[in-house]
Amino acid sequence: MQIHDDLLREMSRRQVETLLENLSDAIRELESSIVEITWKTKNHFSKVTPDQKEYLSFLERRYKKILTLYDNVLNTFYESIGNTLSQTYRYGRSISESLILESGMNIAGTPIDSKALQVLIRDAANDFRVAIKQSKMMFQTYFKLSKQGALTESDLSKAVAKGLLKSGTPTASKKNVIELFYKSDFSKSQSSRILSPRDKDSREFFIEKFGKKKFEKLERLNSKLLEKKYIQILDRNGNPIHFKIESYAELVTRSRITDSQVTASIEEGTRAGIVLYTVPGHNTTAEVCKPHEDEIYTTDLTLAKAGVFKLLTEKEKPGYHPRCSHRLFPLILTNRKLFALIASRSNEKFARSWFQKQGKAIPERSVA
């Protein structure tokens, strides 16, 4: 009995070591690609050449390859480790049960749980999938943000989070973001920079902005307007736009809080099996925000493809706007109300079909 147990443990140990090595290879390839693109980006921005087409083409190719490598890491886990561990467990359990039957006794004195390890493997696999997905999303965000300037997504998120932990309001977060802007090195950024009327390098910009006579008058009066600092960023078309540091910090802070709230709503809703989300109306005056008023979105592709609800995508996710306070909330409904809502937007036959596929109990006909 002991010999069989030892052999089984040794077989499992060697299989796991082999599979972990396969996973390590995939991760090493991913890491080396990320290091390469970071190194290339750093060197490029330290000395920008007049013709950037070839370089930008390289970045796009590496960007796509890294996204593919993320998928490769995930597939390596699912296609080998997860399945093999489950198979090894089933094989080992079969051997153990046979030995127990042959010996006529259960030495451990406990029942053999045939589902325990499968559940653990499933949970571990889900955690691994979520980690890879979030890492992939972070890299995509960083890639987009790196085209804007010197700050990373994580820098901004940390500044906002620390402020919220300190006071529970956006005020402290805004102060942290302002400090982050002042401390950051924008010297190598080709798209973002901090401007101040007091700086010699920026003086011409403000003379053009205010007019020479007005600017010189402000200087003579030692006006507090000249104490203001501005940040330059590029818009979607590559044109420079300017914000007061305080205004931009407010925008960044509230945008980050809104994005976090929306992401948290979706994640918690997904865990609870919720597929509908709503943006409560509040009579916004912002044209860009009006389409979200009292809208219901879904993460379920079947409902979206049938035109019952709009699919919740990055484009549809409500963001922060200075003249609105949109928030996304999971729409929690009883089966009875959910069935009635889907049926009212499609028909009872479709609602029944969708409920059956979801494994939900179909309410009585009278509710539809």
* 116 & 208 share domain: no
- Is residue 259 a part of any domain in this protein? no
Residues in the chain predicted with pLDDT less than 70, given as ranges, are: 1-67, 69-210, 215, 218-261, 264, 282-288, 316-327, 365-368
- 11 and 89 both lie in a single domain: yes
Strand partners, 244: 230
Among 202, 226, 249, give the residue marking a domain's end: 249
The pLDDT tens digits for 31-40 are 666 656 655 6
Q: Does a structural domain hold residue 257? A: no
Domain limits for position 135: 2-146
Q: What pLDDT, on a 0 to 100 scale, did the predictor assign at position 148?
A: 42
Residue 224: inside a domain, yes or no? yes
pLDDT digits (tens, 9 = 90+) for 42-79: 555 545 544 555 555 666 666 666 667 666 666 666 66
User: What is the model's pLDDT at position 313?
Assistant: 80
Q: Give a yes or no: residue 338 inside a domain.
A: yes
Same domain, 356 and 289: yes
Residues 119 and 173 in one domain: no
Domain membership of residue 32 (yes or no) is yes
pLDDT of residue 341: 92
User: Is 187 contained in some domain?
Assistant: yes
Burial of residue 156 (number of CB atoms within 10 Å: 0-12, 13-18, 19+): buried
Query: Does some domain include residue 258?
Result: no
Burial 332-354 (b: 16+ CB within 10 A, else e): eeeeeebbbbbbeebebebbbbb
Question: Do 231 and 350 fall into the same domain?
Answer: no
Of the candidates 10, 12, 8, the residue with the CA atom closest to the CA atom of residue 98: 8
224 and 279 fall within a common domain? no
Q: Is residue 294 domain-shared with residue 343, that is, in the same domain?
A: yes
pLDDT at 186: 52
Asked if 191 and 309 sit in the same domain, the reply is: no
- Global pTM value: 0.40
89, 112, 146 - which closes a domain = 146
Domain boundary among 146, 163, 194: 146
Residue 228 shares a structural domain with residue 307: no
Rounded Cα distance between 68 and 309, Å, is: 31
The total domain count for the chain is 3
- DSSP 8-class letter at 221: T
Could you tell me which of 281, 266, 260 has the C-alpha nearest to residue 311? 266
Q: Look up the CATH number of the domain holding residue 98.
A: 1.10.132
> What integer pLDDT is reported at residue 346 of this predicted model?
92
- The reply to whether 188 and 322 lie within a common domain is no
Identify whether residues 41 and 141 lie together within a single domain: yes
In this structure, the answer to whether residues 105 and 138 fall within a common structural domain is yes
Q: Is residue 175 part of a domain?
A: yes
DSSP string, 108-120: T-S---SSHHHHH
Whole-number pLDDT of residue 305 = 93
Which residue is listed with tokens 């997504």?
153
